[in-house]
Every structure is written in structure tokens, then in C-alpha cells.
Structure 1
Amino acid sequence: MSCSLEQLNILLVAAETGSFSAAARKLGKAQSVVSAAIANLEIDLALTLFDRSGRYPQLTAAGTRMVQEATTLLAQRDRLHAIAGELAAGTESRLTLAIDDDSHLPWFGTLLEEFAARYPSVELELLFPLMEDVAELLESGRAQLGISYRRELPEREIASCTLGAVTLPLVVAPSHPLAHKTPLRESDLQGSRQLMVTGRREGTERHRFRLSAQVWWVEGDLGVLELVKRGLGWAAIPEFLLHPLLARHELVILSPDVVAPPKLELELQWHRARPLGQAGRWLKEALLARVPR
């Protein structure tokens, strides 16, 4: 019994996309190639991986288990390639870091100062995409490292490590009707305009903490914060952005019954199969070293 890593990769993509034709499109192959690869894999493993009796192939119990094992095996392959590439790589001439929203920049500004001193010849590019756009930049190779909130449905190709949790208190301007409402209930939030961060693509991520029927979408926490200060709605804002505004009494933290402030894990992300050069490895390890263990 033998099977190739290529067959296992086709199996995973077919399972992820839900059909052989969709897998073929994602892989840039003919559907007949994908179908043949799956059929040959089933022969090699002496297992039926997909039930083909319906309109779309469905994983069997054996297929589900093989997908789990293939995921682990291919992740190990990608790690092997990445480590080999990193061992062979010197100091790169350019490094791109994608950060979910520029409001996070002060969080590691001192680290960038140290990076500049260590690697003065490396051209550093900082991009500030939002939400799933970070993963897209890593997948395409446009960025080598990313800092983003943990997604509900992470991509298989993206590796990550936590940088800590960020609490997002619910806030309004002192002049907002909700600022002095007691008791404050979930229904009050649902009936008042909510200001929310959005990327440039539709998706489930941006609706994660939606409560209100009426939403204004804003590209970035700093934009949301400006509208909150003007009394145009309530919002969940990263705690590290609020301290000076709360000290000056420009914002009020809401404490509604039942509804707890959202909490998100901040992650450092990179592509499993793409090696980092010396500067990228240093920045990656320096970021992770700052996380309490």
C-alpha cells in the first residue's frame, strides 16, 4: 500500500471545497485528474473515502479519519520545507508585515526600533489590512508575517501562535442616550446603532459581535472610535485604545446585563510552507518572546 503527498493534498482540498470540480478549480487541474487521484488513493488505501451517491461527494467515516491524518502529515511536510528554507536563507532584502488595523502599531513600536538597529539594510513594509485580508496576503506571498485576531475558521495553510488576548469594552460618548441608562439590557444595545469594524470583503468574520439591527461599518478601529466620540453609536473597542479617552472622560464604558465585553486572541501568523529569512525569523521570535508563558 502506497500513496503520494500529492494525492493527500487533493483529498484535503476536495474535502474542504465540497466537490471534485471545486477542488480542481482551486488546484488548477482538470476535474478528471482530481477524480482519478481520489480513486487511486482509495485503491491504495483499500478504503472508500467519499460516498458518491448524492449530487456532491460526501466523506465517509473512513474518509473523515484519513483527512485528519493527512492534515497532520502535510503540516509536517510544510514545516520540514520551511525549516530547510530558513536554514538555507540569508538575510532578506525586504520583509512585509501585515497588521490587522494600524491601531496595533504602538503595541510593538519599541520592537521595530530594535529591528531597525539590527537590520538597517532590510526594507520593511507595514501593511494594515483587516480581518481575513491578512490571511490572503500571507497565502499569496505578499506578506511574510501577519498580526491579526484569531479567526473562527482559520486557513489550513496558515500557522499561528497567540500574542495574548485583547478585551473590547463596550463604549459610548457621555452624551449618548445609553451612557446613563440603568438598567442597561441587551435589548437596548440591539435597538441602538452599533459601529463595527469591517474589511473590504463580505464574510462571517465581520458579523461576529453584531447585536444591533442597525450598523454602520467602518474600516478600522480608529475610525470607529472617532464616530463613537461624536455620539453616533456604541461600539466594542480594543481596551488599549481607550485609556487616555476614559481618563479625559470622553467615553463611557457600558456594563449591560448579561452581555459581556468581547475578548479576542491576537495572533502572530505565517504561511507554513514559506521560509522566513534571518530578519523575519528574528522578528517572529522577538514577538513571541514578549508573550507571558
Structure 2
Amino acid sequence: MRWTLDQLECLIAAAEQGSFSAAARRLGRAQSAISTAIGHLEDDLDCRLFDRQGRLPQLTPAGEAVLNEARAVLHQCQRLDARARAIAEGEEARLVMAIDEALVEMPPVDNTLEALAHQYPALQLTLLYGAQGDIAGWVEDRTADIGILLSQQARGPLLEGQRIAHLKQLLVVGRNHPLAKLPAPNLTDLASHRQLVIASRTGSEDDQAISARFWRLNSFYSMAELATRGLGWALVPQHIASYPPFRDHLTTLTSEALGVAPRIEVEMVARRDSAQGPVAQWLRQSLGQGFRGRQDR
């Protein structure tokens, strides 16, 4: 390969401007330099790119094909330059973000990812979705750079977290469950039916289950799915109770006996010994703003 980026720029300029002289004015070069560069490109590629028999040069079919490839090469070079500048300025070239599966399809998360694509187009992003306990572990062992998860009472000694939101929980049962006929069940009512409990993030079995009959799960989405099937009642985040596959099959109950359902904190975690660049800082701020805009805070 003997052709150069300079030759490709001359080709593109001549094709877009309609003549070698116009291309020279655009590039601030002499017309002879443009003509020479394109002639050398034709020799290097062993094909005629312009028909010069008329008053103005016209692209040949081969020239049209090469023009498209030349544009693609220069666009890639521009992306390379942008990435190199970002690295030189301290911006992360790549980022691995782990997200709790309970936050899948939440507007604040999806909207932030969409904005991230526009704000940092050169970023290489890897997204890992995991169930309870996965996220903090991935960050701690450096599989992920940052994690977005539902708060844990205990985390590894190398991690630090910052709260970005908290989620409201709802008491739900399947529409055909016996409790659905009791809009405001008391503790005795709840204790007489199976409870679906989220498994402890700390490994502790002290989940304060109200019912003596309970199943533990490590996924709020799985809890909601089993609730729709009438297998028990559960406290789940509001956005999961409203998730389209579930919302028409669940009934929301109120229970003064339970008091105000505890809210679940959402936090962003990272290793203390890992420097947080501008992308990670932007993510923390944008996610916080996105969650604060929700009505279920």
C-alpha cells in the first residue's frame, strides 16, 4: 500500500468541489499539487479515477467506488484522532459498567446511556447486567470499572459508594390471589400466605420475613413474575410492579400494618484505588439527575 491520506483528501476535495482548481482553493494548495496527488493515487491503485477529456474532470465508475472507500478511511482517521485527544486530555478511552438487573429498562438508566453515546462518542463501553451480589464483586475484582446497584449494607473493603437515588416499593399480589380480595390486609392476613423475599445482599438470612412460609429470590423481576402466578405476595420496586409484562396481572395492596414500605437506595460504586475520570463523573451526575426527575422517588 503506497497511497497516502493526503492523496485521499485531494480525491475527496476534487470530487466534492467539481474541479482540481476548486479543490486547491479549499485545501489551500496549488492546483498542480492536487493534480499530482491524484495522479499518484491513480498510479498506486492502478485505476483511472477521473475522466479528464471534458472541460472539468469527471469521476469514473472506479473513481466513484474509491471515493466511498476514501471517505470511510478518513472518517475512521477522524475517530482515531478524537480518541487520542480524549486519552491525552484524561478522558477514559473505555469503560466497563455493571448494572443491577433490577434497573433494566428504567428510563433514568436508558436515557443516561443514550446521552452518554452523544456526549462521549469515542468511548468504548461494555455493559454487564447481573443479579444480586454480582455487581459489587465485578467492581471489586476489576471486571467492571463502576457499578450501579441497589444498596448493600455491607460491601468489600476496597469499594466506596455514593447514593444517586432511592426507589419506592409496593406491596403486590397476583390478581387471582386470595389477598387481592383484601385491599388492606393486616399482619395476620399476610402471615397466612407465602411471602416472596429478596435474598440478602450480605449473605445474612435475617430478611425479616413476616410469613413463616417464604421463598427467597435474588431477582425482583423473578419475584414479580412469581407473584403474577399467584405464588405469593411481595414488596417490589414501583417500576417493576409497573413493568408491562406484570402490571396487568398484579394488584397493589395497602397495609397500614406494614407501615411505610422501606425505600431501596440506588448507588454507584467504584474501587477506592481506581481514579474516576470525567466519563465516570459525568455518569454519576447524570444518573442522579435522571432519578431525581422521577415521580416515584
Aligned partner of 2:242 in structure 1 is 243
Query: How high is the sequence identity, in percent, across the aligned residues?
Result: 29
Is the counterpart of residue 118 in structure 1 residue 119 in structure 2? Answer: yes
2:191 aligned partner, one-letter code: Q
* 1:75-90 correspondence to structure 2 within 5 Å: 90=90
Amino acid corresponding to residue 142 of structure 1 in structure 2: T
* AA matched with 2:210: L
Per the alignment, do residues 135 and 202 of structure 1 end up closer, same or farther by CA in structure 2, a change over 3 Å counting? closer
Match of 2:277 in 1: 277
User: What letter matches 1:122 in structure 2?
Assistant: L
Specify the alignment match of 1:263 in structure 2.
Answer: 263
Question: In the alignment, residue 258 of structure 1 is paired with which amino acid?
Answer: A
Alignment CA distance shift 1:235-1:98 (3 Å):
same
By how many angstroms is 1:176 displaced?
Answer: 0.3
**Helix, strand or coil at the partner of 1:262:** coil
Q: Deviations over 1:186-238 (max 9, x none)?
A: 23322311223348x8702x753532222233342222211111111111111
Deviations 1:49-108 (A, max 9, x none): xxxxxxxxxxxxxxxxxxxxxxxxxxxxxxxxxxxxxx9873333211112225444232
- Which residue number corresponds to residue 101 of structure 2? 101
Q: Give SS of 1:279's match.
A: helix
- Structure 2 residue 149 is matched with structure 1 residue 141: no
1:203: which partner in 2? 203
Please give the secondary structure, in 1, of the residue aligned with 2:284: helix
Cα distance in 2, alignment partners of residues 111 and 182 from structure 1: 37
SS in 2 for 1:210: coil
Check whether the contact 1:103–1:222 (CA below 8 A) recurs between aligned residues: no
Name stretches of at least 5 consecutive residues in structure 2 with no aligned partner.
Answer: 1-86
- Judge conservation of contact 1:162–1:266 (CA < 8 Å) in 2: yes
Q: CA RMSD in A?
A: 3.1
Decide whether aligned partners of structure 1 residues 242 and 195 sit closer, same or farther in structure 2, where only a CA change above 3 A counts: same
Partners in 2 of 1:151 and 1:219 — Cα distance?
Answer: 13
Distance across 2 between alignment mates of 1:135 and 1:179: 37
One-letter amino acid matched to 2:288: L
**Superposition deviation, residue 259 in structure 1:** 0.7
Equivalent position SS for 2:225: helix
Matched, 1:153 2:154: yes
Q: Which structure is richer in relative contact order (CA contacts within 8 A, separation 6 or more)? A: 1
Change in 2 beyond 3 A, CA 1:249/1:115: closer
Q: What is the CA–CA distance in structure 2 between the aligned matches of 1:117 and 1:153, rounded to whole Å?
A: 35
* d(CA) in 2 for partners of 1:180, 1:245: 23
**Any idea what SS the aligned residue of 2:130 has?**
coil
CA offset at residue 150 of structure 1?
2.1
Residues 258 and 127 (structure 1), Cα distance of their counterparts in 2 relative to 1, 3 Å cut: same
Aligned residues: 205
SS of 1:237's equivalent in the other structure is strand
Structure 1 residues 121-147: Cα deviation after superposition (integer angstroms, max 9, x where no partner): 322222222333322222111111111
Could you report, residue by residue, the CA deviation over 1:8-42 in whole angstroms, capped at 9, with x for unpaired residues? Answer: xxxxxxxxxxxxxxxxxxxxxxxxxxxxxxxxxxx
Structure 1 residues 258-288: Cα deviation after superposition (integer angstroms, max 9, x where no partner): 2132311211222222112343232223223
Contact 2:91 2:279 in 1 (8 A): yes
Distance 1:244 1:95, change over 3 A: closer
Task: After TM superposition, give the deviation of residue 115 of structure 1 in Å.
Answer: 0.9
Aligned positions of 1:217-256 closer than 5 A: 217-243=216-242, 249-256=248-255
Q: Distance in 1 between matches of 2:157 and 2:217?
A: 29
**Distance of 1:218 and 1:247 partners within structure 2:** 17
Q: Decide which moves more: 242-251 or 98-107.
A: 242-251
Do the aligned partners of 2:228 and 2:246 also contact (CA within 8 Å) in 1?
no
Measure the CA separation in 1 of the matches of 2:214 and 2:286.
38
Please give the alpha-carbon distance, in whole angstroms, between the structure 1 residues aligned to 2:149 and 2:266: 6
Alpha-carbon distance between aligned partners in 2 of 1:292 and 1:248, rounded to the nearest angstrom? 23
